[in-house]
Amino acid sequence: MLVYRFQNFSRAVFVIDGLILLTVIVASRMAFRLIRELLPSPHHNEGRRILIYGAGDGGEMILRELRNNANWNYQAIGFLDDDPLKKDKVINGLRVYGTNGALRKVCKEKDIQEIVISSGKIPTDTLADIREMCRDTDILLKRAYLKIEPMEFE
């Protein structure tokens, strides 16, 4: 190439080669992710059934940690969120349920054993309602900041 100075080569070959290389790299990355999503994990249907209260960044971070640490023995069922714009959306394969009176119904239908609160910004009256519902239905309530900790009932 240095000797003949591109005399017999089209410069479009280099552009096409770059595009083909980029396409192959992107396709291989997507294929690995698709295969990982389609193959069932060995602990997918095991563990305590939980709902994550808060479908924001904190909730997604908790979900990622739960999926990465199968030895914690949790199975995330979905998200609960007060934001009406997030209701019925799907985040990382889990549905977001609204909380306007649906908390008891969702917990009963989905056979929930624990609720993990992912945000510290929940109003105190909402938190009191959640505590009361959990106390009445024998559902364990936890708050997660950096790690999952049991939450004390007052």
Structural domain spans, the chain: 1-39, 48-150
The average pLDDT across 9-22 equals 88
Q: Is the pLDDT of residue 57 over 70?
A: yes
Specify the pLDDT at position 40: 63
Q: Is a pLDDT exceeding 50 seen at residue 154?
A: no
Which of 3-17, 32-46, 49-63, 104-118 is the least confident region?
Answer: 32-46
Cα distance between residue 51 and residue 104, in whole Å: 12
Instruction: Please determine, for residue 2, whether its predicted confidence score (pLDDT) is greater than 70.
Output: no
Mean pLDDT (the chain, rounded): 83
Higher-pLDDT residue of 43, 67: 67
CATH code of domain 48-150: 3.40.50.720
pLDDT tens for each residue of 112-143: 999 999 887 888 888 888 899 889 889 999 88
Average pLDDT of 140-154? 65
**HEC string for 76-143:** EEEEEECCCCCCCCEECCEEEEECCCCHHHHHHHCCCCEEEECCCCCCHHHHHHHHHHHHHHCCEEEE
